[in-house]
Every structure is written in structure tokens, then in C-alpha cells.
Chains A and B, each alone.
Chain A
Amino acid sequence: MKNYFKKVKYYIHIYRMILIQDLKTKMSFRADFLISSFSGIMLNAASFISIWIMFQNFSSIMNWNYYEMLFLYGFSLLALTPQLVFFDNSWVLCDKVFKGDFITYCFRPINIFFYYTFEKININAIGQFFIGVTLITYSWIKLGLDVNTIIVFKLIISLLTASLFMIAIVIFISSMSFWIINAKGLMDFFSKFKDYTRYPFTIFNNFFKFVFSFIIPIGFVAYYPSLFFIHTEELSWISFFGVFYGIILLYFSYKVWVKGALQYSGTGS
């Protein structure tokens, strides 16, 4: 047990060292940092404006009103933030594997997944976190929902479990680059799915509901966990199931990633 704590402490120390190095690199490209942050804020502003424009024309989508849609959108922004901030390096895994740069990670005396994944941090995505918090708070007040310790605790737990799904998807898809040569197309393909998370899933027919719940589990990013707070009449066992499903998927995709990394033989360059 004591050994275990020592290991955790060691990894936290390593993480801090890696982070400082990465931030130093980022600071030397200040204009790029500003432009990337600004484009991220613009993207969220545009999505907000499009929801606003839509609701100028009608009052609800499948009985979900404007503020409920904003809640859903804010929830999805927050649940997607951990993946964006801490797992940014996964998006370029296919390039590194393809070009052979990945071999450098194979020689480190620490967990290869840990070192590769947490080598980079995408701090400009933190803007999204604040937009998400603002949207949830705003819609929470407008919807007149209760505020107490239990419900805030519930919100944090459901956000944390919801965030596991996108992380698991990205880890799993990026690990495909160990077997497929052109995994980049696959990554682009799956990166689009985050836009699908911000709609009430009652719009879909049963086939798509099934696909988006169990095969590409994006329903658990915002819709199913939001039902704990709003539209509780749509709440079913699936939302409770999501809490455990995320952990299972994350563990599974981690195992696949490590399996792929261990059989990686480089490009010989």
C-alpha cells in the first residue's frame, strides 16, 4: 500500500514537470495561443447564436424549451472539456505512429500511455469550461431549479462520469492508428460527433437512439445525464447505467491502447 502511494506521488511529480515544459513551449507561440483561444470562444458563441436564432422561430423542440436546450448545451460543453484539455495529444497519435516519432515514447521507464497522453495540455480549451458554467448557471436560474448541496454534488458526479465517454471514444479511436495506416480520417470522423451531443435524443428514431447510446455512446455525454435534473419524466435505467458504462468503456479503451502500443515496432527510421 505504501509502495502504491509512492508511485502515485511519483507520477504526480512527473506530470508537473511535463506540464511546465509544455507550457514553456506554448508561451513562445503567444499569438497562436491567443488566436486558438479566440477561435474556440467564437465557435461556442456561434453555436449559442444558432440556438438563439432557432428559438426566435418556435418555442420548443420536442417540448424542450430554450433554457432547457441551453442547459443541455452547457452540460455537453462541460462534459467535453476534460477530453479537450487533458487528452489533446491523442488527436495527433496517428501522425506520430505513421512517421515513427512514437518510438521515442517506448523507451521511457514509465507507463507509456501516461507519458504520451499527458505530454501536452490544451489550456486554451479552458475558455469552454467557463462558457459551460455560465450557460448552466443561467439556465438553472431561469428554469427555477433547486439549489442545495446534494444537487450540486449530483451535478458534479454526473458531469465527471459523462466526461469519461468522449475520453474513452478518443482513446479507442486513436489507438486504431497502431493497426490502421490512415487513422486520421477516422479521427476526423469521430471528432464531429461532439456536435450531436447537444440535442434531446427523443428526436431520433429507435435505430439511431440505439446507435448513439451503445455503439457510439454520445448520448451519455449530455442527454442521458441531464435527465437527472431536467425532463425527469424521460429518465430511465439508461441514465443510471451510464454512470458505470463510462468506466467500463474507459478501462476497455485503455487496454486496447496499451496493447497496440506494446506491439508497435516503429518505422525503422
Chain B
Amino acid sequence: MIIKTGAVMIKAGIMQSFAYRASGFLLMLLNNLLYLALIYFLWKGIFNSNNIELLNGMTFNQTLLYLGLAVALQPIVETYVIWQMSADILTGQISLHIVKPISYQTYLFFLMIGENLITTLVVFLPTFVIVYFLTNSFVVLSYNILLFVISILISIIINYLVGFIVGTFCLYVQSPAGLDNMRMIVVFLLSGAIIPIAFFPELLRSVVMLLPFQAIYNAPLQFLLSSGINLNEIIHTFANQLFWVIILYGLSKIIWSISIKKITVNGG
């Protein structure tokens, strides 16, 4: 049942993303490539002008791989759930969604998966290939790819849950742009998508590791950085990610059920 409804929702998401023209995808890809060029030159400048080989245990190739893949992963992991929720609340559509047999949260999740499926194909794959060659085929293509993929699937859920929790506040204030910007700033900075977490000062790093955001970008990227990762680390990373899925899922349910009582639909 849930799989069948899920498939329908995913299809709806795919259709929705097709409304975005081919030129839109092309610009997204071009944007990624320009950003890749920026971080390539910036970090090359940093490594070369300071005459360093190793920075916090990371080589230039590792840094570039980490930051480049964080960019490449964005079309897969990023979510526009806040905008969707805000639009549903503003138009009153939400009153139709909350009486349906499928929960609003599940509905939005499948919609997002469908939307991101297309961007994954047309934006992620080309960016990944370019990062792969830019770092001199540095990624070891072995079983760690499998771990990486599983970890990303969990990242998607975590990032979605964070988005849903923030989106719930649209029931109180109609400010999707402000809320989504704040979410993005916090997620990108504290997940290592802008600067690798390994570069953070000791104290800040230990605080960041206690937060859910590192489980979004930092966790899957770790699997690709080191080829010789041991079983302990694998279990630890997955346990940490699953822990945050459970906590955030519970939290989103609680916040949603409290907030939905306050809903006012204009006209509808």
C-alpha cells in the first residue's frame, strides 16, 4: 500500500520537476561547475602559497574531493519542503492534505524524492564525474561506494526532517525565504559543506559532532575520503545517523501535532 502510494507521489514529484525547463538544469550544472572552479583555485592557492602538503590530515585532493562532492550532493540531498509547505499553508491547500489517508509528512517526502531523482541524474552525475577527474581519480571505487550510497540515503531523510521541522514554523510566520535561508546557513556551515569539519578548531569540532547536521554531509563523505575505514567507524557512523533519524522524526511529529492545532486557513 505504502509503496504503491509512494510510487505515485514520486511520479508526481518527477512531473513537477519537469516543469523546470532544460535550461534550468543546465544552469544548475553550470553553477556547480563554476563553484567547483572557485574552490579548486581557492584551495590550490591556500595549499601552494603556504607550502603545505597536509592540512589537518587532509591533502589538497582530499579537500577538493570533500568540498566538491558536498556541492555535487546538494541536488540529491537538498529539499524545498519549506517552500512547498508555505505555499500549501498560504493557499489553504493544506486542509485537503491533512484529511488524506497518507500523512502530510510522508506525502511531502515522496514528492521531494521524485523531484530530486531528476536533478540527481542531470546534475549530480556530471558533477561527480568532473570531481573524479579533477582530483586525479582519487576516489577508490570499491565497497566504500556502497557504504557511501547507503549513508546518503539516510542523509536525505535527516535533511528532510530538519526541513520539515523548520517548515512547520510557517504555520506561525509566513516567511519561507527567511526560514529557509536560516536553515541552509546552519546546515551548510555545521555539516562541513563549506569548510571540512576536520578544519574546525578542537572545541568547535567537538560541539559540531554532537549536532545532527554533521550527519548530513560529513558522514557520507567520510566513506569516500579514506579507503581503509574500519568496521568500528562504519558502525559508529551509521548508528549516529540512525540515532538522528529517530530523534528528528519524533521531534517533527511532536512539533507538527502541536502546531497544526493553530492552523487558520484563509477562505480555503
Shortest distance in angstroms between A92's beta carbon and chain B's nearest beta carbon?
12
Bound: A62/B30 CA distance, A: 26
| B38 part of interface (Cβ distance < 8 Å) | yes
| A109 part of interface (Cβ distance < 8 Å) | no
Among A16-24, A37-45, A225-233, A260-268, the one that faces the other chain is A37-45
Structural contact, B173 and A32, CB atoms closer than 8 A: yes
| A31 part of interface (Cβ distance < 8 Å) | yes
The one of A39, A57, A184, A188 that contacts B181, using a Cβ cutoff of 8 Å:
A39
Shortest distance in angstroms between A134's beta carbon and chain B's nearest beta carbon?
19
| B174 part of interface (Cβ distance < 8 Å) | yes
> Which residues of B in the span 166-198 have a Cβ within 8 Å of any Cβ on A?
172-175, 177-179, 181-182, 185-186, 188-189, 194-195
Shortest distance in angstroms between B120's beta carbon and chain A's nearest beta carbon?
18
Interface size on A, residues (CB 8 A): 38
Bound: A248/B79 CA distance, A: 40
Structural contact, A29 and B195, CB atoms closer than 8 A: no
Please name all residues of chain B whose beta carbon is closer than 8 Å to the beta carbon of A1 when the two chains form the complex.
none
Please name all residues of chain B whose beta carbon is closer than 8 Å to the beta carbon of A38 when the two chains form the complex.
178, 182
Q: A44's closest neighbor in chain B, by CB?
A: B185
Q: Mark A184-213, 1 if CB is under 8 A from B, else 0.
A: 111011001000100110111100100000
Total A-B pairs, Cβ < 8 A: 103
Q: B30's closest neighbor in chain A, by CB?
A: A189
Please name all residues of chain B whose beta carbon is closer than 8 Å to the beta carbon of A35 when the two chains form the complex.
173, 175, 178-179, 182
Bound: A184/B20 CA distance, A: 10
Please name all residues of chain A whose beta carbon is closer than 8 Å to the beta carbon of B189 when the two chains form the complex.
46, 49-50
Structural contact, B21 and A185, CB atoms closer than 8 A: yes
Shortest distance in angstroms between B130's beta carbon and chain A's nearest beta carbon?
16
Please name all residues of chain B whose beta carbon is closer than 8 Å to the beta carbon of A236 when the two chains form the complex.
none
| B104 part of interface (Cβ distance < 8 Å) | no
Bound: A87/B23 CA distance, A: 25
| A157 part of interface (Cβ distance < 8 Å) | no
Structural contact, A203 and B181, CB atoms closer than 8 A: no
Most buried by B among A29, A38, A185, A196: A185
| A3 part of interface (Cβ distance < 8 Å) | no
Please name all residues of chain B whose beta carbon is closer than 8 Å to the beta carbon of A60 when the two chains form the complex.
49-50
> Which residues of A in the span 25-73 have a Cβ within 8 Å of any Cβ on B?
29, 31-32, 35-36, 38-40, 42-43, 46, 49-50, 53-54, 56-63
Please name all residues of chain B whose beta carbon is closer than 8 Å to the beta carbon of A63 when the two chains form the complex.
49
| A137 part of interface (Cβ distance < 8 Å) | no
Please name all residues of chain A whose beta carbon is closer than 8 Å to the beta carbon of B175 when the two chains form the complex.
29, 31-32, 35-36
Among B199-207, B237-245, B250-258, the one that faces the other chain is B199-207
| B268 part of interface (Cβ distance < 8 Å) | no
Bound: A34/B20 CA distance, A: 31
Q: Mark B6-50, 1 if CB is under 8 A from A, else 0.
A: 000000000000001101100110110011011001101110011
| A111 part of interface (Cβ distance < 8 Å) | no
Shortest distance in angstroms between A210's beta carbon and chain B's nearest beta carbon?
13
| B266 part of interface (Cβ distance < 8 Å) | no
The 4 closest A-B pairs by CB, nearest first: A35-B178, A203-B45, A32-B175, A185-B24
Known contacts A38-B178, A39-B181, A43-B181; can you find 7 more A-B pairs with CB under 8 A?
Answer: A32-B174, A35-B173, A50-B189, A53-B201, A59-B50, A188-B27, A192-B31
Interface, chain A (partner B; CB < 8 A): 29, 31-32, 35-36, 38-40, 42-43, 46, 49-50, 53-54, 56-63, 182, 184-186, 188-189, 192, 196, 199-200, 202-205, 208
Interface, chain B (partner A; CB < 8 A): 20-21, 23-24, 27-28, 30-31, 34-35, 37-38, 41-42, 44-46, 49-50, 52, 55-56, 172-175, 177-179, 181-182, 185-186, 188-189, 194-195, 199-201, 204
